[in-house]
Chains A and B, each alone.
Chain A
């Protein structure tokens, strides 16, 4: 069945899609913060922030990243991997209570946020080996 009002369809389509501004991307998150954190964040049983950051850096180098930035006070490491694509990650390390460090990583590939859990799981698997510690899921 063909629409009797093609102009109306066009108008509605324009209203629905045409008004999305690219600046809306600034505060855009495609998934709920809770869900994102569930695979971007793990806790490790150590209170040594410096050693955790050094392990993160070593792991990133192992995965062919070049560092962009590192800050011990804020517990931040950013790095980029070039392999036909551009993958940029930021890892934060902060204390959780007095016995654990919380490690969170977020990534973007080209112009898209990485929301597939797999690369994050792979990162934590590699980090576990570098730290000789188990990554605990955070609830």
Chain B
């Protein structure tokens, strides 16, 4: 028998080498790009930003608080000297119709499988096709927290000096959604142009009222 020790040694080395490679490869993580501007950063900035003429920073901030209250937000934090307002609201995330139709679709799918199973392997006498338990198993979105931060800064004049009578405002909005099992099902920043447009439409009206009040 000449299954030589050398061959056995080579096999062992090979096994060891491949194991090391697997370990190393397993440890290599994907590059963390969470702090890098994304491709749509510029477009998003335009959606979220407006320049507003004929108003000072404090009056603009007050007008923003008014709009946020109109929209049902509560103010969590503010630092007027930095032009910062933080607001949030908790709301239902249940989309009318979604839950019922999802549950129905699930139950129908189960029933179809049951029927197919019965046809192939004979009726097992277990006719729980429309069992209520199965309907309850469907996981759906229940509640969401929407958070917004409004930031203002004085606009700059042609020589780069801050102006007292023109401001730049930017709002960023995000939401967290929890499902019926209490898990976070979505965590995202809102990128829908319409949402931001609506905010700024309301803001123009609020500014008008605010300036009249002063």
Contacts and interface: CB of A to CB of B under 8 A. Distances in A.
Interface of A: 50, 53-54, 57-58, 61-72, 79-87, 107, 109, 114, 116, 118-120, 122-123, 126
Interface of B: 29, 31-38, 41, 44-45, 48, 76-77, 79, 81-84, 86, 147-149, 151, 153, 170, 172-176, 184, 187-189
A63 B35 contact: yes
Given A67-B151, A82-B176, A84-B188, 11 more contacts: A57-B151, A62-B41, A64-B44, A67-B86, A70-B82, A72-B82, A81-B189, A82-B188, A83-B187, A107-B35, A122-B35
Contact of B174 (A53, A82, A109): A82
Contacts of A86: 176, 184, 187
A87 B48 CA distance: 21
A82 B147 CA distance: 11
Contacts of B189: 64, 66, 81-83
Q: Chain A contact residues: over half helix, strand or loop, or mixed? A: mixed
B33 A122 contact: yes
A91 B211 CA distance: 35
B148 A66 contact: yes
Contact of A119 (B32, B77, B148, B170): B32
Contacts of A81: 34, 174, 189
Contacts of B153: 54, 58
A84 B148 CA distance: 17
Contact of A84 (B32, B83, B175, B187): B187
Contact of B36 (A57, A61, A114, A122): A122
A79 B37 CA distance: 16
A72 B84 CA distance: 10
Contacts of A87: 34
Given A81-B34, A83-B188, A118-B32, A69 B151 contact: no
A24 B174 CA distance: 33
